[in-house]
Amino acid sequence: MLSRHTFLRLFSESISMTRRPRVLILAEHCNPLWPSLPIVGYKYALALARHCDVRIVTQIRNKPAITEDGRELDRFDFIDNEYIARPMARLANLLRGGDQVAWSTAVIMGYPPYLAFERDTWKRYRPAIEAGDFDIIHRVTPMSPTQASYIAGRGGVPFIIGPLNGNLDWPKAFRSEQKREKETLRKLRNFYKYLPYAKRTYSRAAAVLAAFRHTIDDIPFTPRERIVSFPEIGFDPDVFPSDRKRAPFDGSGEKVFLYAGRLVPYKVPEVVVRAFIGDERLRQHRLRIIGDGPERARIEAMVRDAGAQDRVSFEGAKRQVEVAEAMLTSDAFVFPSIRELGAGVVIEAMATGTLCIVTDYGAPGDLVSNGRGVALPLQPLDDLVLSCRAAMLACLDRPAEHAALAKAGQDHALANYTWDAKARQTVEIYRAVLSGRTLEGVSPY
């Protein structure tokens, strides 16, 4: 005979496994028009809305774009903490000299506004949380481990945080790039573990989703069995389709190499430019540069000095659909960034069946491992240029081998990184938490 307590527990577990989880999603960064973190937060939240009953709480600045987009609008709620967010953003931009560099400064300045965002959310949703209207509270963004949570552990509802990404050191060989990125405050990073709410956030989380080994190793105060390997990046198959619009390169004709990303020091776009313009064989082909930023003038000058303007095109920033079109009509995506935490652009290129040539450090190296692309050893700048050039030349000489690498990368992206796949994987984590099951084995990554 089952005891009454055991019967009620099993009954509760059976209910939680059959109905859609009710989830309060915290997504301060959540915007369909803004690149990187905001659009990731938006697409992940919408994907979860297809599998769960959700309430998505975000910041008021995102309302115009979300309203214009119009998808699942009734699921969103907007918190107005501009009384602190606006002046802190202005101060951050003043200290950074704009919004392109000095990311650590931006994160530090964002700490008080984010706590205010969660505090105001708690005031609004506390009655519903304590009444049992939600099964899970899931903080999706921000994704930096350094941003603590005010809500974690409150209301008696399991709290999940992530996917998180951070804690990738600057390579010693690229200290000059770190200086040009104005990343001097990065040395203060580990002090976040002593800030208010940090210990509470990680000790009381029912699950922490963490991207890649560099982040998993950084998570404080959380038992390892509650940490799930879960990269934050994903892609939309409707935007980045798998049907290529370019015939496979067969060793003849013009090969198209592509770089897409901000033109900032840590992405070292000069590596692919110098690799290309410094070799006569490569200069018989074409290099497309999509993106903008403070490095553009400098690398454009390199191209002019080499007399290679007819072979290298600088196309500026483009919308996602335009980047996807460029990937579908290119033969290789060359992305030498030396400090890439998530590398969503790499998984997007993989999804389109484009061969990826990346630096083997951080997320890009993990993504193309196990025969899914080409990884260049992390090394000083001039050596990285030589390795990049050799890899690009190999594309000309071994097209069949590289086509197989591109196909393996595409299969991996399609199986694991569509937003729908990531939402289904997240629901499995929810169900494990709600039923008290171990989180071991719930991640396919």
Give pLDDT tens digits for 316-349. 999 999 999 999 999 999 999 998 988 999 999 9
Where does residue 220 rank: exposed (0-12), middle (13-18), buried (19+ CB within 10 A)? middle
B/e letters for 254-289, b = 16+ CB within 10 Å, e = fewer, are ebbbbbbbbbbbbbbbbbbbbbbbeeeebbebbbbb
pLDDT, position 385: 98
CATH 3.40.50.2000 matches 256-416: yes
**Which has the closest alpha carbon to 357: 379, 389, 383, 380?**
389
Residue 167 pLDDT more than 80?
Answer: yes
Question: In the chain, what percentage of residues exceed pLDDT 70?
Answer: 96
Q: Domain-by-domain residue ranges, the chain?
A: 20-234+418-435, 256-416
Output the CA angle 182-187-193, nearest 5 degrees. Answer: 130
**262 falls in which pLDDT band (50, 70, 90)?**
very high
Who wins on pLDDT, 220 or 95?
220
Structure tokens belonging to residue 323: 């980047």
Hey, which residues does 211 pair with through a beta bridge?
Answer: none
Same topology, domains 20-234+418-435 and 256-416? Answer is yes
Whether residue 35 has a cis bond before it, omega within 30° of 0: no
CATH entry, 20-234+418-435, from 3.30.930.10, 3.40.50.2000, 2.40.10.10, 3.20.20.70: 3.40.50.2000
Structure tokens belonging to residue 381: 């700048």
* Model confidence pTM above 0.85: yes
pLDDT, position 95: 79
Residue 282 pLDDT more than 50?
Answer: yes
pLDDT, position 187: 80
Residue 274 pLDDT more than 90?
Answer: yes
Give pLDDT tens digits for 412-436. 999 999 999 999 999 999 999 999 9
pLDDT, position 13: 53
Within 13 Å, how many C-alpha atoms sit on residue 95's CB side? 18
Structure tokens belonging to residue 107: 């994160």
- DSSP E strand boundaries for 61-218: 76-79, 136-141, 159-164, 207-210
Tokens 């050893």 belong to residue: 377
Residue 7 pLDDT more than 70?
Answer: no
Give pLDDT tens digits for 293-310. 999 999 999 999 999 999
Structure tokens belonging to residue 316: 């500026």
**443 falls in which pLDDT band (50, 70, 90)?**
confident
Cα distances (angstroms) measured from residue 391 to each of 314, 373, 376, 406, 436 = 22, 11, 8, 14, 48
Question: In the chain, what percentage of residues exceed pLDDT 90?
Answer: 76
Who wins on pLDDT, 169 or 85?
85
Residue 273 pLDDT more than 70?
Answer: yes
Give pLDDT tens digits for 47-80. 999 999 999 999 999 999 999 999 999 999 999 9
